[in-house]
A and B are shown apart, each in its own frame.
Chain A
Amino acid sequence: MSERVVPTTSSTVCTLAAITLKRLGRGKALWIGGMLAALPPAFAVVFSATKLHTRQGTPVPDDLFTISAGLLVMLPAMFVGASIGEEIEERTSTYLWSRPIARWAVLAGKLCALTPIVIVLIAGGWYAGVMIWAQAAPSLTSCIALAAGCVATSVVAAGIATVVPKHGMALTIGYMLVDVFIGAMPFSLNELSITNQTRELTNLFGGQPAIATPLIAMIAVSGLWAAVGFVRIRRLEV
């Protein structure tokens, strides 16, 4: 039979990521996510057809970016928050907890599998939208900014789902709505908003190019939630 070894962390993370992707591919979430990701190109078609400029002089309509950034509210919650929350809530985690694996690897595996999907959907939707609107590719900076926003939001979703697994998806959406609201406030508090920092990082709408501050803010917020998630999952009993 098998050799008596404990799996390495990298093999555990890879196995969990592969299982997560396989399950995702056979479920409905990917289809729903794909439809949501099609919103920016769909709006771009409408904007192009109506010649609607929401802000004159900008290379892309800010409404288009707002829609893409708005997907940050939905998709990480839908993929990461729901996946981790359901695993704990529906007790399939009992299979994992009894295995000789580091429990934080469960979070890492989920994040490794699902965050790229979220990035592809959101940044892909943005890319397609701009291509339709401007007949040119968006700036690499804007795509990277959205990807950074996806990573940060996915980590937040993971952290929230470990604290409140039953409502992981709903609470992540709620948290991100508050994040959008805080981001729109004209106070320094908006520095803590992931959506605001994503917008800052894109440097699409003029002003001084800023990289360090948005990145530091995103790392701080997501790092806090990552710590919550990893501490919580280490102590979690199922």
Chain B
Amino acid sequence: MSIVVADNCSKWYGHVLGVSDVSWKLTGGIVGLLGPNGAGKSTLIKMMGGLLQPSRGSLTVYGQSPFYDIEVRRRIGYAPEHEATWDELSALELVTAMGRLSGVPAGKADQAARDALEQVGMTSAMYRRVRGFSKGMRQRTKLATAIVHDPDFLLLDEPLTGVDPVARVDIVERIKQLGAAGKTIVISSHVLYEIEALTSDIVVIYRGQVLAEGNVYEIRTLIDRHPHRIRVECDQPRAIATALASEDHVARLHFERAGLVIETRDPDRCYDQIAKAVLASRVTVSALSSPDNNLGAVFEYLTGDGGRR
């Protein structure tokens, strides 16, 4: 049985497009929603969480509209992208309140909140007010508010954004545990490796449309076919260009005022060869950057926009 069914689902904010004509089914497991900022990930998640209703088409969760059906929202746990919360409350008070509002009986809400906070590693800070929490602690607390009522379906909107590497590993591990416990989880991110750490099932969303869905490795292969640009700012760009010109992975070399832009189909090899050329010719490099280190460029390539650049 499908948990989420989106049928020609569109959402506009006035004249601004959020999601366009999305038809998609979710049957279970951990699914990564991948796309650059503004792609429509949060809009889709909010529609699944019952915070927004489609402008056109339909979106159902467990066969019901989450916007109107209270019963179905009992089965959903949602952690929003933003940090705003009831900062005056302690983590325990906040999670207990969310438990109560999700139907956990009064006598069990406190224990359920403690369990949820323990699951996300927040036991030691549960009596502290949320106002003083770091980004990572807020993310964990949000996760606790989402799981306190033991939902079947979790919606986590960018739960790893702004989290330090240590906390990131911990949160990833805890999300995996929830997945292993049988929860269906939709997690959004604009960073591919964050999603890769959690699941191999991804949905690529861009400009409000589902661009691709399936195994992350297939998507990765598709992305890797995209010529990757490397900008080298140095005093002898021609020396590096000479060293790389005959390499089969180099698609294009372009001189700029302060250096060189290389388009390559094998970034790892290319970086190695740049290093060798720099050492061999004693080139002074002032900057090495990749204009493609954001998903937007890759998505533009995948949608064909890159070809027009």
Contact = CB atoms under 8 A, between A and B. Distances in A.
Interface of B: 46, 49-53, 70-78, 80, 82, 84-86, 88-89, 93, 97-106, 108-109, 112, 115, 145, 148-150, 155
Contacts of A238: 46, 51-52
A145 to B, nearest CB: 34
A7 B80 contact: no
B104 A101 contact: no
Interface residues of A, number: 31
Contacts of B148: 2
Nearest to A25: B88
A68 B73 CA distance: 44
A23 B86 contact: yes
Given A2-B112, A3-B105, A7-B103, 6 more contacts: A6-B70, A7-B101, A11-B100, A19-B86, A23-B86, A238-B46
A11 B106 contact: yes
Contacts of A12: 101
Nearest to A103: B70
B103 A94 contact: no
Nearest to A16: B101
Contact of A94 (B70, B80, B104): B80
Contacts of B106: 11
Report the 3 A-B pairs with minimum CB-CB distance, sorted nearest first.
Answer: A98-B78, A1-B150, A100-B74
Contacts of A2: 99, 102-105, 108-109, 112, 148-150
Nearest to A5: B103
17 contacts: A1-B149, A2-B150, A3-B104, A4-B150, A6-B103, A11-B100, A11-B106, A18-B97, A19-B86, A27-B88, A92-B85, A95-B86, A97-B50, A98-B51, A100-B72, A100-B73, A237-B51
A16 B82 CA distance: 21
A144 interface: no
Contacts of A45: none
Nearest to B115: A1
Interface in A34-70: none
A102 interface: yes
Given A6-B74, A94-B80, A95-B98, A100 B89 contact: no
Interface in A6-38: 6-7, 11-12, 15-16, 18-19, 22-23, 26-27
A189 B46 CA distance: 45
Contacts of A90: 84
A7 B100 contact: yes
A22 B74 contact: no
A26 B108 contact: no
Contacts of A94: 46, 51, 78, 80, 82
Contacts of B112: 1-2
A235 to B, nearest CB: 9
A11 B108 CA distance: 14
B103 A102 contact: no
Nearest to B85: A92
A4 B109 CA distance: 13
A99 B112 CA distance: 16
A163 interface: no
A193 to B, nearest CB: 35
A6 B72 CA distance: 9
Contacts of A92: 84-86
A5 B70 CA distance: 11
A98 B49 contact: yes
B85 to A, nearest CB: 6
Contacts of B97: 15, 18-19
Contacts of B77: 98
A100 B102 contact: yes
Nearest to A20: B86
Nearest to A102: B70
Contacts of A4: 74-75, 103, 150
Contacts of A1: 112, 115, 149-150
B80 A91 contact: yes
A22 B93 contact: yes
A7 B86 CA distance: 21
A204 interface: no
A44 to B, nearest CB: 34
A23 B71 contact: no
Contact of B101 (A22, A23, A27, A96): A96
